[in-house]
Structure 1
Amino acid sequence: MQLMPDPAHPLSQPVERIASRALVHLSGTDSLSTAARRLVTAGVPFLPVLDDQGRALGVVTEAGLLAVWCGAAAADAPVTAVLTPMLAIDGRLLFNLSALAGRHRVPTVMRTVITLVRPVQTLREVAALMASGADPSVVVVEGGRPVGVVTAHDATRLLAEDASAGDRPLQAVMGQPVLTLAMDATLNEAADRMLQHRVHHLVVVAPDGQLVGMLNEHDLARSMAMGLMDASIVQERVRHRAILDAIPDLVWLKDPHGVYLACTPR
C-alpha cells in the first residue's frame, strides 16, 4: 500500500506558484557596471544571463560583482567574467520569511565566525575578504562593538552609483546605524525585524553590546524550512496511521526497500 502526500500541504505546492513572473535578465554582452545598476533597480541579489535564443547561461550575483572591487575584473568587462552556473535548488527554502516564522533561539542558527574590519579601511581593501567568505559581508567594529555593516548588496549599490567609491573609507559607505538583535531573540523575532527593515543581515549582540554573531536571511530561511519539513513529516505519519487504523482488513506497510514499517490492528 502506498500513501501519497497531502496535496494541500504547503510543501506539496509547486514552486511555480511563488516564482516571479516578470523575469528581469542580462545578456552576455552586458557590462558588470550595467549588471550592478540593473540589480539595484530590480532590488534582487542576482539576475540570470540569457543568450540570443533565451537560454540561460548562468547568473550574476552581488557577491560575484565583488570581483570589480578586488581588481579581478574591470567595471566595463562583460558579465560572463563573473558568471555563476545555474543551480537546482529546493524551492522550500524560498518561502517568505514570515510564513516560516519559528520559535527557536538565534544562537542556534547565527554565524559566530565573522570578518571584522576597521572603519578606516576601504572597500577595495576588504573586498577580497568579503569574496572569500561563505557570507559576503563584513562587520565594522570599534572597541569590540559593531558600528557598521558592509554587504555584497552595499558593494553592488556603490558600483552602480560611483566606480571610484571603492577608495573611500568604510565609515563613509557602510550601512549604519547597525541593526542588532539580542542573543535571546527568537527566529520569529529575527524574521519580523528583517522584513520590517528590509535587510538581509542582523548583528547579534550580548547584553553589554559586544558583538557575538551574525544572522543572515539564508541561515534563517534554511533553519525555518528544516523545521517546517520536520513538522510536515510528523503530520504525514499521523495521517498515515489514522488511515491505516481505519482500514478493516489486515494491511502491511513497507518502505521502497521492502522493509515492513507497520500494520493495521486486527
Structure 2
Amino acid sequence: MSSSTAPRGSLFSGIGYYLLALIATAFFAFPIVWMTLSSLKSDVDISAYPPKWIFSPTLESFRKLFTELNAMDALINSAFIVCLATLFAMIAGTLAAYGLARFDVKNKNFIAFEVLSIRMLPPMVSVIPLFIIAKQLGIFDTPWLLIAVYTLNGLPFVVWVMRVFIQEIPQSIEEAALIDGCSRFECFWRVTLPLLLPGLAATMVIIFMFAWNEFLLASILTSSEARTLPVIAASSIKAKAISWGLGSAAGVLMSLPVVVLVLLMQKYLVRGLTLGAVKG
C-alpha cells in the first residue's frame, strides 16, 4: 500500500511544481506579451473595452516612433554610449578587482566596501552637481558626458562582483604560471581571464542593463543631441494623455537589444551568476 502511494504522491508533487512554474512564468510574461500586442494595435484597438485579442496588426506606432520622435538617433546614441560605458567599466573594474583580490593592499576590505558604498548614493544627489560641471566644461548634451557618468556608476558594482569571482580562482594556478616565467600581466591575461569568462559575461549583462535602462541622468544631462531611448520612451507621456501605442513600441524597441544580448551570453550567464554563490 505504501509503495503504491509513494509514486503517486511524487507524481502529484511534480505536477504541482510544474503548475507553479507555469503560473509564475505567465505572471512575468503577461506584461511583455501585452506590451508587444499593444505596439501592433491601432489607437482605437488599444482603447477598446473589453480588450481586443483578435485585431489587424499595424506598424503605425513604430512609424511615429521613428519619424516623429527620431528614435533611430536615440537608438544609435544609446548603443554608442552604453557599449563604451560598459566596456570601460568592465576593463577598469576588473583590473581594480584583480588588484584587491591578489595584491597585499592595506585595508583592502575597507577599500572594497568604500567602493561599493558609492552605489548607495542616490542619483538625485549627484545629478545637480554633474549638470553644473557639465555646463561649465561645455560637455552638456554630449555622449561623452553620459559615457563618463555611466562608467563611474557601473564601476563599483564591477569591482565588488569581479573581486569575488577572482577570489574563487585558486591562487596556486597563478603561482604555477609565475614559476613558468609568465609576468604578472601575462598571468592575468592568459590564465586568470579565461577562467573569469562566466563571471565577466554575467557582470557585463547586468552593467549593460543598468546603463541601457537609465532615465534620470539621461533626461537631465541631455537636451536634444545625446538623447537616449528611455528619454524618447518617456515622450509618449503627455500632460493630458498617454500614447499607449507609442510607449509600447518604444518599450519593445528598448527590450530587443537586451534580449539579444542575454541570448548570446546564455552559455556563460547561468554559470557566471552561480559561480561565486558558494564559498569553501
Give the TM-score taking structure 1 as reference length. 0.22
From the two aligned structures, give the one with the greater helix fraction. Answer: 2
Query: Which has the higher relative contact order, 1 or 2, with Cα contacts under 8 A spaced 6 or more apart?
Result: 2
Give the TM-score taking structure 2 as reference length. 0.22
